[in-house]
Structure 1
């Protein structure tokens, strides 16, 4: 069996165990009502079963889901070259006032300057 199959089996066992713990807690409450006892808390064995089931479920879901990316910012940037890192196309501006300050700039004929 593969590792993912084993994790799926443990995930199923964890869910069955959690459902059993919930049923046991409900049955314990029903018993306390029938005997007219005060409802203080859930017994320790049911609480431990619930916590162990949750840990099994969480661990196996994390193992089944997928590969996680690293949190470090430079992990994705290591494969890129220096030229592609400085290539920010959203900052490219082609039509701006700076070109009119150049000494060899000739304005197009269709541009009209309105004077006030």
Structure 2
């Protein structure tokens, strides 16, 4: 506003360059989000996993801990 007062310009609305920059930034963000979504896998279960319980699907040896603090009790 102070620049527009010094330049003796009317400041009833935003300058066109700020408006264009905001619209272009919003459009670019929307395009980036839509393009980034294509990299993710579909989360629906396939037919082979549909019949299994989720407890058995994520049961991996990396998460099995046999040396834990419960053995000291």
State the TM-score, normalizing by the size of structure 1: 0.31
Higher RCO (CA-CA < 8 Å; seq separation 6+):
1
State the TM-score, normalizing by the size of structure 2: 0.40
Structure with bigger gyration radius: 1
